[in-house]
Amino acid sequence: MAMGKGYARAYYGTEHATAVQRKSSAHLLISGVSNAYTLEVLRVFGNPILQVLKGLSFESAMVPDPKRCNSCKDSASSRDSPEWTRPSPFPDEVLDRVLSLMESHKDRSSVSLVCKDWYNAERWSRSHVFIGNCYSVSPEIVARRFPNIRSVTLKGKPRFSDFNLVPQNWGADICSWLAVFAAAYPFLEELRLKRMAVSDESLEFIATSFPCFKSLSLLSCDGFSTDGLKSMASHCKNLTELDLQENVMDDLGGGWLSCFPENFVTLEVLNFASLNSDVSFDALEALVTRCKSLRVLKVNKTITLEQLQRLLVRAPQLVELGTGSFQQDLMPRVYAELESAFNNCKNLHTLSGLWEANFLYLPVLYVASAGLTFLNLSYACLRSNELANLVAHCPSLRRLWFAVIIVSKTEVLDTVEDKGLEAVGSSCPLLEELRVFPADPFDQDIVHGVTESGFVAVSRGCRRLHYVLYFCRQMSNAAVATIVQNCPDFTHFRLCIMNPGQPDYLTNEPMDEAFGAVVKTCTKLQRLAVSGLLTDLTFEYIGKYAKNLETLSVAFAGSSDLGMQCVLGGCTKLRKLEIRDCPFGNAALLSGLEKYESMRSLWMSACNVTMNGCRLLAKEMPRLNVEVMKDDESDDSQADKILKIASLETARKQM
């Protein structure tokens, strides 16, 4: 950890104040200013440090005591001693207050680099820690540095584990973390885990070791079952959030829901949409009734429309709703009641679920659609015209996820599926995020999916679009160029042409120019996923233009080592690089030596890298974790999968 880079100096005006944010040596002096004024400023404005500087009058600017600077560097953890009464440029309370309002991890990282005092102030005041890769640091180090953590976000396996590319039992087990947390953070309230291995024992441990535990979010995790949920429901008296999304878990039955005690009333978020078993509806209804603060409810598909209506009547305050199965033959009376229930949900801004949605019942949603900002139809498998009808009622939509199916082989290509997107383009001008999934990506019997024209249509109507994930079966360079011209503000551009290595369908050329257009036009681009037939030219473009790029996913692309070298050399902010099935070899791998330590991780699989290359890398960069996963039958010299993590530890301990 680089310490003592110097103080940050305050200047008049914001443009100078931003210098404070940078890690490079800048100097900060905050003159004596009353606490009350500072706090008032902090409360009103956003970024505390900037605004403090804005509000200062520099009548009594103080010069920093040089002796103090030096001693500050020398003394270790001066904050810890209770009799610390060292005079400082401004009261400690000010700094503490400023820091307590600071939530951004990047800002806090910057603050901690200013000087030792600030490092200590920051670490004592931090209540939430975000660990992007669980193997980059050990739980002991975390506990030592941050004594007052209430909330932890942990991410484990490489993203490609979602697609079965990471072997079973790879690791990322939460249990070692929990053991340390139980000792260091007895008042832990929140755990947000992504791609971690979580066992039922771990869930029970959480439920019984942390009496203040409130919030559990498991996304794309694996290893547990509904028995673990039983523990959570039974023991966590103060639980406010139970959020389960897309985990690989054993659903042994819905009895866990009945384990919430009758006097349990604190739940605010309940998401069990991804579980398949029936739950006791009576228990659910009772739970929803007594938890008056419930604002997010996402049920699974066993909940019928009629049952949904009863739940909505109990919880009109819901902000986010995940419906169950939207397929049921309703009596007209129930239909009317359902519509009325939706009408009463005045705060609804997120809607999801809609499993097996029967288009006849979608109109019940129209009454609540005007306020919707996020519509997740990715499991509803609507037809294009149904989608069009629905989005016509959602003028405030900011985020839309959906999957489109077609019904018969005889439907003409390029018209039916894209019609829905055309409707989106015309109905939802505020749209910022679009995710289009293939409804049945593996059924080759029917031609399906959206084409480029749908995407172009959306880009014409939705100029604020900045996040897109788009699965399609054909794309052209011209279309992509048009799209980014219409929407130059893309921060996340993830295009998946589903046929690996497919060229521009109009010209038969590689898709190089498409992604070239993306990186040239979208200067704010942070995340990019490429597909289609791509040569090294794509990567030359990326390296040359994508200066803000942080995450890059590449599959079945590139021609030679040059491609990867361009990216590693040019993308200064690159943090995550994942590559599969590309002809990049050792030369490419080793060209990024200086870069890897500043990256969170690098993944390469089915490329041309050999074991020797990996060994060389590990030797050159001893502080990197280099891990090679080999398929059983492959040649000994071939390194099938490589994962590199910049880590503070010497070896990834397999738990």
Specify the residue, 19 or 478, whose C-beta has the smaller distance to other proteins: 478
Total residues contacting other proteins by CB under 8 A comes to 75
List, in sequence order, every beta strand (DSSP E) within 560-651: 576-580, 601-605, 624-629, 641-646
Instruction: Give the rounded distance of the alpha carbon of 584 from its chain centre.
Output: 28
The residues in 385-404 that bind other proteins, with binding defined as CB under 8 A, are 389, 403
Shortest Cβ 262–other proteins spacing (Å): 32
The residues in 231-270 that bind other proteins, with binding defined as CB under 8 A, are 246-248
Distance CA 197, CA 154 (A): 11
Shortest Cβ 500–other proteins spacing (Å): 5
**Site mask, other proteins, residues 18-47, x = CB under 8 A?**
------------------------------
Asked if 340 is part of the footprint of other proteins (rule: CB under 8 A), the reply reads no
Asked if 500 is part of the footprint of other proteins (rule: CB under 8 A), the reply reads yes
The residues in 142-171 that bind other proteins, with binding defined as CB under 8 A, are 160, 162-165
Asked if 412 is part of the footprint of other proteins (rule: CB under 8 A), the reply reads no
Give one word for 461, left, alpha or beta, with left for phi > 0 and alpha for psi -120 to 50. alpha
In one-letter notation, the amino acid at residue 586 is N
- Name the one range near other proteins by CB under 8 A: 17-25, 56-64, 277-285, 354-362: 354-362
Specify whether the CB–CB gap between 182 and 158 falls below 8 A.
no
User: 532-551: string of b/e by CB count within 10 Å (b at 16+)?
Assistant: bbbbbbbbbbbbebbebbbb
Specify the residue, 238 or 358, whose C-beta has the smaller distance to other proteins: 358
Shortest Cβ 583–other proteins spacing (Å): 6
- Name the one range near other proteins by CB under 8 A: 147-155, 329-337, 478-486, 595-603: 329-337
Specify the residue, 183 or 248, whose C-beta has the smaller distance to other proteins: 248
Specify the residue, 53 or 338, whose C-beta has the smaller distance to other proteins: 338
Distance CA 207, CA 635 (A): 46
List, in sequence order, every beta strand (DSSP E) within 354-447: 374-382, 399-404, 433-438
The residues in 529-558 that bind other proteins, with binding defined as CB under 8 A, are 533, 535, 553, 555-556
Give bridge partners of residue 352 from the DSSP assignment.
322
Residue 488: how many other CB atoms lie within 10 Å: 17
**Site mask, other proteins, residues 593-622, x = CB under 8 A?**
------------xx-x-x------------
Shortest Cβ 122–other proteins spacing (Å): 36
With residues binned 3-state (H G I as helix, E B as strand, rest as coil), the percentages for the chain, rounded to 5, are 40, 20, 45
Query: What are the residues whose beta carbons fall under 8 Å from the beta carbon of 329, sequence distance 6 or more?
Result: none
Specify the residue, 98 or 394, whose C-beta has the smaller distance to other proteins: 394
Shortest Cβ 380–other proteins spacing (Å): 9
Specify the residue, 474 or 565, whose C-beta has the smaller distance to other proteins: 474
User: 312-321: string of b/e by CB count within 10 Å (b at 16+)?
Assistant: bbbbeebbbb
Shortest Cβ 389–other proteins spacing (Å): 6
Asked if 582 is part of the footprint of other proteins (rule: CB under 8 A), the reply reads yes
Asked if 510 is part of the footprint of other proteins (rule: CB under 8 A), the reply reads yes
Asked if 6 is part of the footprint of other proteins (rule: CB under 8 A), the reply reads no
The residues in 191-220 that bind other proteins, with binding defined as CB under 8 A, are 220
The residues in 622-641 that bind other proteins, with binding defined as CB under 8 A, are 631, 633-635, 637-638, 640
Asked if 471 is part of the footprint of other proteins (rule: CB under 8 A), the reply reads yes
Residue 221: how many other CB atoms lie within 10 Å: 23
List, in sequence order, every beta strand (DSSP E) within 525-630: 527-529, 551-555, 576-580, 601-605, 624-629
Query: What are the residues whose beta carbons fall under 8 Å from the beta carbon of 413, sequence distance 6 or more?
Result: 447, 451
Shortest Cβ 134–other proteins spacing (Å): 19
